[in-house]
Amino acid sequence: MALALRIEDKLYITKFRVDDKSHLKIKDKEKCRQCIGRPCLTCCPVRGYQLQEDGTVAADYEGCLECGTCRVLCPEQNLEWHYPTGGMGVIYRYG
């Protein structure tokens, strides 16, 4: 296997038990539309935030590594960030 991998492949190899509900919630979509910089788009280590055509941002919780960077960097503190339900989310086998 080549060493250089796309993030999708890295997440495929990493183990998850996906919760049926999202632990990330964008509080006010309008704020993302007006956000300058949108650090979540570049800083998320799994590229979990995607800019939508209407200028809002969509959060993908399924591949989230629960690091908290998006929450810390959100200029508007516009994220409701929880841990996934106990036992769910990423499950490191190496760590």
Partner 1 sequence: MAVDISRSALEGASSMTGGETRFDVAVVGAGPAGTTCALLLARAGLEVALIERGPYPGSKNTFGGVLYRHPLEQIVPRFWERAPIERKVIDKQYWLLTEDSAVKLGHRSRRFAEEPYNTFTVLRAKFDRWYAEEAREAGAMLIPSTVALEAIRDERGRVIGVRTDREQGDLYASVVVAADGVNSLLSRQLGLHGELRPEHVALGVKEVIALGEDRIRERFNLEGDEGADISLLGAVTKGMVGGGFIYTNRDTVSVGVVANADAYRRSGNSPVDLLEEMKAHPLIRPLLEGGQLKEYQAHLIPEGGFDAMPPLCADGLLVVGDAAGLVNAAFFEGSNHAILSGQLAAETILEAKSKGDFSAQALAGYERRLRQSVTLRDLKGLRRLPGLLHSHPQYFAIYPELLNEAAHHFLAADGRPKRDKVRGALKAVTARRSPWQLLRDLWDVWRGTNLWP
Q: For residue 93, count other CB atoms closer than 10 A to its CB.
A: 6
The distance in angstroms from the start CA to the end CA of the chain is 21
Q: Using the minimum distance from each CB to partner 1, give the nearer residue, 21 or 52.
A: 21
Positions touching partner 1 (CB under 8 A) are 1, 3-5, 7, 9-11, 13-15, 17, 37, 39, 42-43, 45-47, 65-69, 71-73, 77, 82-87, 89-95
Tokens coding 58:
């969509």
Query: How far apart are alpha carbons 40 and 74 in whole angstroms?
Result: 7
Q: How far is the CB of 52 from partner 1 (least distance, A)?
A: 19
Q: Using the minimum distance from each CB to partner 1, give the nearer residue, 58 or 67.
A: 67
